[in-house]
Structure 1
Amino acid sequence: MRRRGLFARLSALPLILLLGLSAPHALAAPSHAIAMHGAPKYGPEFTHFDYVNPEAPKGGTLKLAWVGSYDSLNPFIIKGRPAIGLGLVYDTLMVASSDEPFSHYGLVAESVETPNDRSWAIFRLNPKARFHDGHPITAEDVLFSFDILRTEGAPLYRFYYADVSEAVALDDHTVKFTFSTNRNRELPLVLGQLPVLPKHAWEDRTFSDTTLEPPVGSGPYRVAAFEPGRYIRYERVKDYWGADLPVMVGMYNFDAIQYDYYRDFTVAVEALKAGEYDFRSENIAKNWATAYEGENKNKGLLIQHAFKHSRVAPTQGYVMNMRRPPFNDPAVREALAYAFDFAWANQNLFYDAYARTRSNFDNSELAATGVPEGDELALLEPYRDQLPPRLFTEEYNPPSVPAPGEIRQNLRTALTILNKAGWEMKDGVMTQTERGDTLRFQILLDNPSLERVTLPYVQNLKRLGADVDVRVVDTAQYTNRINSFDFDMIAEIWAQSDSPGNEQREFWSRDTANVEGSRNLTGVSSPVVDALIDDIVRADSREDLVTAVHALDRVLQWTFYLVPMYHSEADRFVYWNRFGMPEITPDSGASVMTWWIDPEKDAALRAAGVLTDR
């Protein structure tokens, strides 16, 4: 998970890895919460979020599944493959609500203070906060966490915290962060997502090494049992210090959460149908349409439900590595998009389940449409000579076809683009006559289900003279190759936020383009992009933010860094009918972490002989 709200604590990565972070509301005194723009929705006397059931019963085991394997219980470094779900173990200074564009409420930090110019932030820790081993959480632990993540953690921490010039303890329970600029308006929220690690548990260990020693955290669950490659089980911390905090009421209602690992997606689907685990988020359209039919579904024992959401759609497509030929040629990047027949794939492979991706921020007001006007045009005007002229006169849209399968005109357009850029067919392969580059590359995948989407695309590419092969590798090899940018083309996805901010540097900035392990997978390296990201980070209002995001989106669209694929406007869940759920689903989507075991439904399933012992 990769997005805010749905599986915030189910991920193997800390929350800061998964969220698009955003700017805080300027505060003049300590507050229980901080919002991007305006005031937080929930006042200081709130008792719980609206999208939870404060009376939800606790108990039972939630069994989930994951495909792949793991070899580490350290989720904060790029080395190794961390187990899924480790976010359950760690508390952060603050937590985000799921029914606001972006607001944070106190967890380890009971209050936050930042001046009107946002040049610093002070976090006051809850004196009740404890690690699982009973040690109190102090300012020293916060400073240790900040320093170790910035110096030895995954690269993104270094970029997220780059504008912090000083971090000091004012007393045992108060930390002040001073910033090198007052123009990075989201920094208090970025720091609010800081996972707090126990200094005493790491002092005699090397942080940058993988480990299978169960971690000491402060969150609602701890690692109870595990076997790499088979399962990991988390159990509720019985004396969890934060159980009664408003941000935790109605959340994490299961006594245990266990992930069983499967090597193959097909096997994982069959295991769900056999009752081996409880819940699956189904991302394969064919499975959603056909895999779950049968008696259990007909009887209402196995439920399929698409939960509508209003969050920003993720950016998804075939990503081209611009660090190497032939993708360092923008004509190639533009032309290859004409070979992808989304309409055919949606009709024949996806049961018309998807919408075409055209923006980096689809399904939201952040998506750039039309041509730049007004404030956005004023923002882009200084860079006119560095941008394609079409950006100012044409609306970007991915290539479309008259009807599914009618790709000929698109291929002719692609050939025209290539020929104008000096590409010609030689010995059956499209070749750049001046440089000698050939249109030869590999599409690297880690999910076999993507082959059925990719192979028809490859057939169209070959009609353009492209020499393309597809290779599917295991998760470990794929991760290593992605981290080192050892690929030509991949099918990838970036989770986006309702309030974009510093994470955009991790995705697109020149500083991250050659940093192994960064999310700048395509190698975007543009002073214009960097300047627009700065405008996003410095935005004083929601209106300014939307304008700057439109400008960035438009520049990325006309960079042709990916072949846009598709997205869903609902979360497709399949689950055994043993759960109770809150009445309200927040805009960011439903979360199984707000569900609970309904005793009557659970008893009915057991009477039907469906579920294995929990």
Structure 2
Amino acid sequence: MAGPSRREVLALGAATAAATLLPSRVFAASPTQTPLYGLSAFGDLKYAVSFKNFDYVNPDAPKGGTFNFAPSSWVFNQNPQTFNTLNSFILKGDAPPRMELCFDSLMASALDEPDSSYSLVAETVTIAPDRNSFTFKLRPEARFHDGSPLTAEDAAFSYKLLKTDGAPDFSIPLAHLADAIADDKQTLRLVFDGKQTERLILSLIGFPILSKADIEANGFKGGMRPLLGSGAYRVGKVAAGQTIEYERVADYWGKDLPVNRGQNNFDRIRIDFYLERRANFEALKKGDVFFREESVSRSWAIDYDFPAVKEGRVVKREFPTEKRPRMQAMALNQRRDRFHDIKVREAIGFCFDFEWTQRNFFYGLYQRSQSLFELSDYRAEGKPTAAELALMEPLRGKVPEEAFGEAVMQPVSDGSGRDRKMLGTASRLLAEAGWKRNGAFVQNDKGETLTLELLTDEEVFSRVLSPFVENMRAIGIDATFRIVDTPQYQRRLSAFDFDLVVVAFQFSPTPTKDDMEQFFHSRSAAMPGTRNYAGVADPAVDALIDAVGVAKDRQSLVVAMHALDRVLRARHDWIPNYLNANHWVAFWDMFGFKEPKPDYAFPVETLWWLDKDKAAKIGKA
């Protein structure tokens, strides 16, 4: 999943001299003891201190209207099918997507740069000489929705709260935060323990700022009471599990800041929740949903021929996906002893026949995923370079030898759906791992049968992955397919109570150690609610994640990510399956938007606007 946008806000106080607001160059070389208006991981900031708006927005976009859409991405504990809490920052419960629109942060990213952040609530940031603390000057005009001032005390309280009580998305990156201190009402210091990576701060400055008074009075648990926010939207109409509306805050304190121009244009952002994707699709056809991204190739190929499309009232088109590493794969849970052996994991991978599935179910619209960092420069190719080997050689004997050859590729079948050669290889691998045929299934020397349950909450997967299950059964694995309701599925994911699941994620354009820790580090393997679904707990992998964290420039980051990709692919913790290189979207032709879309995000709900003339032409005025 891609992360939805945060508000991108940058403005200069009238009394602040531009000469004192210096852009950050290479982050490690950023000047200390100097107020900065932005930070960049490796390169110069694109936007100068005096810029008027981001290039990808229409600064004159009109305000108004309702945008009712089906979210295709979500973060934290959010769920696109139902919700039972309005607290999106804890592990417990299912929150509605886009709750983050209600909260501001210290700084925010530009969507056409891979690794930069600009001032939002914080007007400037100053780096200490030892680079272990950061001092933020907060804007005095910042306000919560009830009119109370947003102060450094609120920000300090928020960071401490998210470290102790927040979901792993927050608590893991905050592990090295030693203290958050409000020196005065407008001055916040974040102090680290010296063990943090240099780029960690770029993740933390996007965290939500909460109201200390609100949480002390009402608590930080789940429930249908929204937390007090400060962002461009606030929670409006709510029907638990069915509908949520976010209302644009007319007197939003940051609405006139330069980087807010052209954003947050709809008066209301509405999400209706459907347990079945088909019901969501029918809502688009009826005009109840205005924008929908399709995720099923069969539907994209044959279903979008309804009258409104033929009449031109609904637009069907593709947009390029983001320039961000993408992972779509099946995770084998190594917390189950029977999946510890790499040969068992590799054997299971041989049972997925992509070529047959592509021809029979996908209409040729997908491509085979090979890497966990697809569609990016971080996907390893060919043999390791000398720089990659320099990182990997100390790990020889500790990681699979396959990692030192050509980058591991997924097997290619004959397209029959029951490739005898592939299944024969899978059977041999199981036997080498000690699983011998005994009747219909294989057993180990303890007489235990090798069982596997493929868990999902999506009915559509039953058609696509049933052949995969049948191939596993053909080689002696007692494999089953189980569909559960979405809340149960989310609970089981958080508790790692599954054998195999299918997941899809987008990583940051400039991955950090904290990003990688969530998915692949020993530290996250036993922490409920992380994304380490495979249960990877390998000191060698940890060492490569450390190398990602200490990369001093983009070239060394690419090298470290290549080495990590090679080792993860050779370990067969995850089975890459398939991906789509474009967004498949359909929308009622009543909106304006600027093209091309930004390279690193696609938040239509904050960038598009209602075009009243178009709406009138299709009867939607």
TM-score tier (shorter):
over 0.9
Match of 2:51 among 46, 52, 58: 46
Asked if 1:8 corresponds to 2:13, the answer is no
Which range is displaced more, 308-317 or 256-265? Answer: 308-317
**Is the Cα contact below 8 Å between 2:27 and 2:43 reproduced in 1?**
no
**Is the Cα contact below 8 Å between 1:326 and 1:437 reproduced in 2?**
no
Distance (whole Å) between structure 1 residues aligned to residue 547 and residue 502 of structure 2 = 29
Return the TM-score normalized by structure 2.
Answer: 0.92
Distance (whole Å) between structure 2 residues aligned to residue 104 and residue 188 of structure 1 = 10
Distance (whole Å) between structure 2 residues aligned to residue 149 and residue 240 of structure 1 = 24
- How far residue 589 of structure 1 moved from its aligned partner, in angstroms, is 4.5
Which secondary structure does the structure 1 equivalent of 2:331 belong to? strand
Alignment of 1:124-523 (within 5 A): 124-181=137-194, 184-207=197-220, 209-403=221-415, 405=417, 407-433=419-445, 435-501=446-512, 502-523=514-535
Q: Deviations over 1:355-399 (max 9, x none)?
A: 111111111111111122211100111111201112112321011
- How far residue 46 of structure 1 moved from its aligned partner, in angstroms, is 1.2
Match of 2:560 among 537, 545, 548: 548
Which secondary structure does the structure 1 equivalent of 2:586 belong to? strand
Distance (whole Å) between structure 2 residues aligned to residue 508 and residue 114 of structure 1 = 30
- How far residue 313 of structure 1 moved from its aligned partner, in angstroms, is 4.3
Match of 1:68 among 72, 77, 81: 81
**TM-aligned CA distance change 1:270 to 1:320, over 3 Å:** same
Which secondary structure does the structure 1 equivalent of 2:537 belong to? coil
Asked if 1:26 corresponds to 2:30, the answer is yes
Which secondary structure does the structure 2 equivalent of 1:258 belong to? strand
Q: Deviations over 1:464-511 (max 9, x none)?
A: 111111110111000111111111111112321211111211111111
**Is the Cα contact below 8 Å between 2:454 and 2:480 reproduced in 1?**
yes
Residue identity matched to 1:315: M
Which secondary structure does the structure 2 equivalent of 1:213 belong to? coil
Asked if 1:118 corresponds to 2:131, the answer is yes
Which secondary structure does the structure 2 equivalent of 1:430 belong to? strand
Distance (whole Å) between structure 1 residues aligned to residue 147 and residue 359 of structure 2 = 57
Residue identity matched to 1:32: Y
**Is the Cα contact below 8 Å between 1:313 and 1:361 reproduced in 2?**
yes
Residue identity matched to 1:193: G
Distance (whole Å) between structure 2 residues aligned to residue 236 and residue 410 of structure 1 = 55
Residue identity matched to 1:397: M
**Is the Cα contact below 8 Å between 1:23 and 1:189 reproduced in 2?**
no
Q: Residue 18 of structure 1 corresponds to which residue in structure 2?
A: none
**TM-aligned CA distance change 1:589 to 1:214, over 3 Å:** closer
Which secondary structure does the structure 2 equivalent of 1:167 belong to? strand
RCO higher in 1 or 2 (8 Å CA, sep ≥ 6)? 1
Residue identity matched to 1:121: F
- How far residue 583 of structure 1 moved from its aligned partner, in angstroms, is 2.5
- How far residue 127 of structure 1 moved from its aligned partner, in angstroms, is 1.4
Q: Deviations over 1:76-101 (max 9, x none)?
A: 11111112221111111111111111
Residue identity matched to 2:82: S
Q: Deviations over 1:93-125 (max 9, x none)?
A: 111111111111111111122257532222111
- How far residue 206 of structure 1 moved from its aligned partner, in angstroms, is 2.7
Sequence identity, in percent?
38
Instruction: Give ranges in structure 1 of 5+ residues lacking alignment.
Output: 11-21
Distance (whole Å) between structure 1 residues aligned to residue 259 and residue 343 of structure 2 = 50
Distance (whole Å) between structure 1 residues aligned to residue 491 and residue 347 of structure 2 = 29
Superposed structure 1 runs of 4+ greater than 4 Å apart:
22-25
Match of 1:56 among 54, 61, 67: 61
Which secondary structure does the structure 1 equivalent of 2:259 belong to? coil
Return the TM-score normalized by structure 1.
Answer: 0.93
**Is the Cα contact below 8 Å between 2:37 and 2:125 reproduced in 1?**
yes
Residue identity matched to 1:126: R
**TM-aligned CA distance change 1:315 to 1:116, over 3 Å:** farther
Distance (whole Å) between structure 1 residues aligned to residue 433 and residue 96 of structure 2 = 47
**Is the Cα contact below 8 Å between 1:106 and 1:247 reproduced in 2?**
no
**TM-aligned CA distance change 1:85 to 1:25, over 3 Å:** farther
Residue identity matched to 1:490: V
Distance (whole Å) between structure 2 residues aligned to residue 230 and residue 177 of structure 1 = 39
Distance (whole Å) between structure 1 residues aligned to residue 490 and residue 266 of structure 2 = 31
How many residues were matched structurally? 592
Distance (whole Å) between structure 2 residues aligned to residue 394 and residue 601 of structure 1 = 53
Match of 1:530 among 527, 542, 558: 542
Match of 1:561 among 566, 569, 573: 573
Which secondary structure does the structure 1 equivalent of 2:218 belong to? coil
- How far residue 159 of structure 1 moved from its aligned partner, in angstroms, is 1.3
Distance (whole Å) between structure 1 residues aligned to residue 419 and residue 31 of structure 2 = 56
**Is the Cα contact below 8 Å between 2:548 and 2:561 reproduced in 1?**
yes
Q: Residue 106 of structure 1 corresponds to which residue in structure 2?
A: 119
Distance (whole Å) between structure 1 residues aligned to residue 82 and residue 444 of structure 2 = 42
Instruction: Give ranges in structure 2 of 5+ residues lacking alignment.
Output: 8-25, 72-79
